[in-house]
Amino acid sequence: MRVTDPLYALYARWLRQQLRGGELPRHIGLIMDGNRRWARRRGIGNPSLGHKYGAEHVDEVLSWCDALRIRHVTVFVCSAENLHRRGDAEVAFLMQVIEEVLTAQLAKPQPLWRVHIAGALDTLPDTTARALKEAVEATRECTTGAHVTLAVGYGGRQELVDAMRELLHEQAEAGRSMRDLAADLTAEDIARHLYTAGQPDPDLVIRTSGEQRMSNFLLWQSAYSELYFCDAYWPAFREVDFLRALRAYAARQRRYGA
């Protein structure tokens, strides 16, 4: 169905009605996969343009979250592996897209989302790192209570390494021995040094494109997350696909490992 089809609008309304009174996730993680494949399927000469359409689509998806009062969203923009394994031209184009989209968002008079960053900024081009830092500063006083975390140059394993490194430095500066740390170490000690410190863990992680894996995304935080895999490529991810994911989440009984 096309988005302009009246039947689509009726179906979307019906799905929203099904969610009324149901439990919605407080925090959603989005693995926006399939940009290049979508571009090839559409016959676009340069598949990297799929990244542009995908990045622009994030704003629309955030509007769906806002309408349902979902206040925490983490978007997997690109992985650390993407930066190392993709061609230089594709990576440069992706970084340019990130900068342009952030600039457009910051031009809005009142940002709806407070921006956070997850990832190693020192691995990014200076202009991209600066744009991300400016987005964080420009939205720091956002009063809507909505938080979007952009995972850029992100790797879940590296996040844990960085968290442990910071924890060890902190304990060393406090004069504690490694034996003392080992005796008292808790999960909370590690969590407060993660890139996402202070934010709730994701209740639901959605991945598009039909792939069914986490790809090193929020490994610690998603320990008890519900997972939902959608066949649509990210730029073609529709509101009804989003609502179906929420319906599936609401129908599940979360067990938290029990």
Residues designated catalytic: 33, 82
The residue type of 185 is: L
Burial 72-87 (b: 16+ CB within 10 A, else e): bbbbbbbbbebbeebe
Among residues 252, 246, 215, 178, the alpha carbon closest in space to that of 28 is found at: 246
